[in-house]
A and B are shown apart, each in its own frame.
Chain A
Amino acid sequence: MLVPLSWLKEYVNIKLPLKDLMWKMTEIGLTTETYTKLGDDVILDIEVTPNRADWLSIVGIARELSALQNTPMKFPVVSEIASPKANLPFKINNDFKLCPRYSAISIKGVVQAPSPKWMQDYLTKISLRPINNLVDVTNYVMFEFGNPIHVFDYDKLKNAEMTIMTTKGGEKFTSVDEISYRLPKDAIIFKSGSEVVDLCGIKGGANSGVSKSTKNILILVAIYDGKLIRRTSQKLDLLSDASRIFERREDTGGTLLTLQRTVNLMTELAGGNIASEIADVKKEKLKLSKLTLSLSNLEKVLGIKIEDKEVLATLDRLNLSPILKNNLIECTIPTYRADLKIEEDLIEEVARLFGYNKFPKTLPYGATPKDKIAYFFDPKPKLRLKELMFGAGFIEIQTLSLTSEEFINKSQLNLDLHIKIANPVSKEYEYLRTSLIPSLLSAVKLNSDIKKLKLYELNKVYFGPIDQSQEVYKLSGLEVNTSFRKFKASLDLIFDRLKVKDYDIKITTVTKSLWHPTKSGVIEKGDEFIGTFGEIHPKVLQNFKIKEKVWGFELDEKTLEKLTKKIIYKAPNQHPPQIEDITLIIPDWVKASGVIATIKKSDTHVSEIELTDIYQKSHTFRIWYQDPKKTMSDNDVKIIHNKILSNLNKKFEVNEKI
């Protein structure tokens, strides 16, 4: 909302220097962070919160400043409308559900002319284009008082009659600015004869608006159902100054005053004779609502005691007519303050004018909650994983969850599993990702000038369909330009430190996937799926224009968390181990994991095994033999050694290299 300081000053004196004024306004809720200088005037740019329709008017803001500064309000003089001197009767067939109140009058013989310079200046300053006295007056008064006004060309209304109704959908409508619309269902309109003459609360019709030939006018100040106005304005993507006011549910009490002010200015600037009595039609007599503030609740919520006198004075400055009785303050709410509905709203009124920055600061008092809350989340396991990745030399990335169809296809992922956004900002952000690997691959591409790369991300992925959606945390990493064993070391580290043992690795059989058809596999433990790892599919790498080999893994974080074992201290073995290297010839199709498991299971005294070297088919294993009760002799070791070799031979036909 643009507010020229000069216009504001017509209704309230302003004592504060500009910077202080802007902050004071911000402090009480009229957020004013920027302004522009225009000649010797200053135009404030005020962000009006959606609860305050009254702040979409200069008078409304002036009222607030008058309360803030405790200075009187100079309300514009509105004089009674004279009795009719002409006779232009009209008939409005109303429906109170759509229009709870309207005030209307007709004027005969207006003369169009440019509006006076002062009015044109004000309108220009708030970015409105002056047109002529008839149109300018309606805009001026709307911004002054906050009630939208519409002027009809009396002679263009069939039989001077119009009927309010909602659209069935598909009706044609051309607005005053000559734009044609097909109206959606449930828009509020006025029909005159068979024609739509007004898209109520949003824009007037070209067929009934002010034109060069207009001499006789019907002025209408009406209130419309804000929900319907908003719905229509959104469907047509058509916001107007009026619709912005209506969707905030504006001032039902202000129509008559607004009409009077409009007529005052209209007859002053465009002449003409009043041609009807004022029609002021409302469903029921306006009853101002009452709201009670308990002084003890005020103190309880604020945490401080504000003197009763000060509370009363504050509420009075806000025109809430406070009356104190038995520690309760009864307030009468003006119609322009429809935002005041509950006691807490009054508490805010007192607090904000007292000044938020004058409050002392405390911390909540009392016992800390004992029970575990719903959706309780322990961040430690994820942090532990991030620490392990840090230790293994990985750089953490954080990327967006939204992705594109192109990206999904490039990664050979199944589009059908992806959850789709119905109204994406762009094609780039249309689906929720089902894997973190594509983002990591594009990170590899982005850093293609760096030879050695280790990247990871720990975040959610999402699986459709939307009515059975799943959100799953994944830990995913990629390593570029490295050997398989170096890459595998990072995975081993995770499993080792989390004490996840005895998992199986199975070769994948999926052909169209992110993963290499033969050099990738899934990691499982019993029925638990832990994750997938291996080389990224060469076709996918090609799609991402990555030349190097890339190894990767994607692990299910929740499963890892579930399988993680607590660390329980074991006293170190006091007897030194015997260590020996055995070199075995391992034929194809024999898995190292099987060989290691067989060695391990051969005797309880085998305490540790390490694959130290691979040369062609020869694998050298270093084996630690240890007895908790004694130092093992060479002969003890010899017996186990032979047992190992015989087991390996029986199981895999694996033999020692001689």
Chain B
Amino acid sequence: MREEILNLKNEALAQIMDVVSFDDLENLKISYLGRKGKINDFIKKIGELPQTDKKEIGNLINDSKKVIEVTLAKKKEGLTSSLLSKKEWFDLTIPGNKTSAGHFHPQTTVLNEILDIFKYLGYQIADGPEIEKDYYNFEVLNFPPEHPARDAQQTMFFDVSNTSFKEGQVIPRTHTSAMQGRVMEASKPPLRVIVPGRCFRYEQVDASHGVEFWQVEGFVVDKAVHLTDLFGTIEFVLKSLFGQSAKIKFATTFFPFVEPGVDAYLECTVCDGRGCTFCKQTGWSEIMPAGMIHPNVLSKSKIDSKIWNGFAFAIGLSRVVSLRYQIDDLRVLHTPDLRILKQF
């Protein structure tokens, strides 16, 4: 029996040496070491042996088993490394199958960024009606009735025939600034608010004008708000949106609902200030009209302007999107052409 065991061991080692595939190796493992394998056949026979031989043969079987196990393991390692060293052709440049993922509209992406920036600064978001009263769109905002200040806000009017409304009493809002009065009169200061939304203007449609556009209005009301805070906020927001190297400058302007009035210019991100069609060759883009909230606006909104003051600003969302992606025609943003939309 001793001889048979040694023969089995040698036979196994020889077979293992010759093996060239993982499958054959696995089969050998089963045929020698498996539950119904050859080694087990000997183990079963140990019982039949005389007591004196039992220990010796038992040890011999165990040793042979160990040698076979080790050899199998070594062979497996050898096979693995020889397989890996073989030069197999595999083309990694084959394009993948198309995923089914969709696309966000660039305006969604940029608006989310803007909302995140303001959340970080502690602002709350408000959403309000696009069908607006003249009162909130103009009167609260200190637009004198029948004053040319209204001309800049080219206004459409709703057809109010057969209703109790007076002509011009309700309009498609011309700016989300209309929400200043609504939020202020119904909320307690201090306030930090932004209002994204659609606005409407009576404009002939061309590359830089539309009947509709999106604006993000923002305002802060607190006990001692400074012009420097407004400058700082505008700079923080524009640098967050356009990068820390963005260049910003401020100019005086007039809007009835702010005093002092501020206009923020961003160095054109398309031409880096050299002058191009985006910035009408000026190198700068008017991007964030703003100012300190006019005391009349506060008092009309039931906020005591002797205690509270604030600033307000508006971001032309469509303008930011077009500057970000160098879109030279505002109509692109609402043209549902997949050749456009799949770029984002």
Per-residue contact bits, chain B 176-220, to A (CB 8 Å; 1 contact, 0 not):
000100110011111111010010101111000011100000001
Q: Spot the interface stretch: B45-53, B59-67, B89-97, B145-153.
A: B145-153
Q: Is A474 an interface residue when CB atoms closer than 8 A count as contact? A: no
Q: Which residues of A contact B105 (CB under 8 A)?
A: 396-398
Q: Spot the interface stretch: B3-11, B31-39, B162-170.
A: B162-170
**CB–CB B163/A466 < 8 A:** yes
Choose from B124, B126, B158, B179 the contact partner of A421 (Cβ within 8 Å): B158
The verdict on A376 contacting B260 (CB below 8 Å), with A301-B292, A419-B131 known, is: no
Q: Is A362 an interface residue when CB atoms closer than 8 A count as contact? A: yes
Q: Which residues of B contact A642 (CB under 8 A)?
A: none
Per the CB 8 Å criterion, the residue count for chain A at the interface is: 95
Q: Is B58 an interface residue when CB atoms closer than 8 A count as contact? A: no
**CB–CB A361/B232 < 8 A:** yes
Q: Is A357 an interface residue when CB atoms closer than 8 A count as contact? A: yes
For B291, give the chain A residue with the smallest CB separation: A348
The verdict on A373 contacting B187 (CB below 8 Å), with A303-B226, A425-B203 known, is: yes
**CB–CB B253/A302 < 8 A:** no
For A468, give the chain B residue with the smallest CB separation: B163
Could you say which interface size class chain B belongs to?
35 or more
Q: Which residues of A contact B122 (CB under 8 A)?
A: 368-369
Q: Is A420 an interface residue when CB atoms closer than 8 A count as contact? A: yes
Q: How far is the CA of A300 from the CA of B226 in the complex (A)?
A: 6
The verdict on A359 contacting B228 (CB below 8 Å), with A29-B253, A369-B192 known, is: yes
Choose from B159, B294, B333 the contact partner of A422 (Cβ within 8 Å): B159
A–B Cβ pairs within 8 angstroms, 28 of them: A29-B254, A31-B251, A31-B253, A50-B148, A227-B146, A230-B147, A230-B148, A231-B146, A342-B295, A344-B260, A363-B236, A367-B190, A368-B190, A368-B192, A376-B125, A379-B112, A390-B103, A391-B102, A396-B108, A398-B108, A399-B336, A401-B130, A419-B131, A425-B202, A442-B336, A443-B336, A466-B160, A467-B164
**CB–CB B131/A471 < 8 A:** yes
**CB–CB A401/B198 < 8 A:** yes
Q: How far is the CA of A357 from the CA of B250 in the complex (A)?
A: 6
Q: Is B334 an interface residue when CB atoms closer than 8 A count as contact? A: yes
**CB–CB B121/A363 < 8 A:** yes
**CB–CB B157/A421 < 8 A:** yes
Q: Which residues of B contact A26 (CB under 8 A)?
A: 251
Q: How far is the CA of A389 from the CA of B108 in the complex (A)?
A: 13
Q: How far is the CB of B69 from chain A (nearest CB, A)?
A: 33
Per-residue contact bits, chain A 301-334, to B (CB 8 Å; 1 contact, 0 not):
1111000000000000000000000000000000
For A350, give the chain B residue with the smallest CB separation: B260
Q: Which residues of B contact A342 (CB under 8 A)?
A: 259, 295
**CB–CB A377/B182 < 8 A:** no
Choose from B102, B151, B158, B342 the contact partner of A393 (Cβ within 8 Å): B102
The verdict on A389 contacting B254 (CB below 8 Å), with A345-B259, A422-B159 known, is: no
Interface set, chain A 405-441, CB cutoff 8 A to B: 419-425, 429, 432, 439-440
Choose from A344, A395, A462 the contact partner of B103 (Cβ within 8 Å): A395
**CB–CB B158/A362 < 8 A:** no
Q: Is B40 an interface residue when CB atoms closer than 8 A count as contact? A: no
Q: How many A-B residue pairs have CB under 8 A?
A: 275
Q: How far is the CA of A375 from the CA of B132 in the complex (A)?
A: 14
Most buried by B among A28, A360, A389, A467: A467
Q: Is B337 an interface residue when CB atoms closer than 8 A count as contact? A: yes
Per-residue contact bits, chain A 354-396, to B (CB 8 Å; 1 contact, 0 not):
0011011111111111011111111100010010011111111
Q: Is A455 an interface residue when CB atoms closer than 8 A count as contact? A: yes
Q: Is A52 an interface residue when CB atoms closer than 8 A count as contact? A: yes
Q: Which residues of A contact B220 (CB under 8 A)?
A: 364
Q: How far is the CA of A459 from the CA of B101 in the complex (A)?
A: 21
The verdict on A421 contacting B107 (CB below 8 Å), with A50-B254, A301-B227, A447-B338 known, is: no
**CB–CB A446/B336 < 8 A:** yes
Choose from A50, A348, A392 the contact partner of B152 (Cβ within 8 Å): A50
Most buried by A among B101, B125, B130, B131: B131
Q: Which residues of B contact A230 (CB under 8 A)?
A: 146-148
For A304, give the chain B residue with the smallest CB separation: B228
Q: How far is the CB of B304 from chain A (nearest CB, A)?
A: 15
Q: How far is the CA of A79 from the CA of B131 in the complex (A)?
A: 57
The verdict on A373 contacting B228 (CB below 8 Å), with A378-B125, A396-B103 known, is: no
Choose from A356, A393, A401 the contact partner of B101 (Cβ within 8 Å): A393
Q: How far is the CA of A302 from the CA of B236 in the complex (A)?
A: 18
For A456, give the chain B residue with the smallest CB separation: B102
Q: How far is the CB of A494 from chain B (nearest CB, A)?
A: 13
Q: Is A351 an interface residue when CB atoms closer than 8 A count as contact? A: yes
Q: How far is the CA of A439 from the CA of B164 in the complex (A)?
A: 32
The verdict on A51 contacting B124 (CB below 8 Å), with A344-B295, A471-B131 known, is: no
Q: Is A535 an interface residue when CB atoms closer than 8 A count as contact? A: no
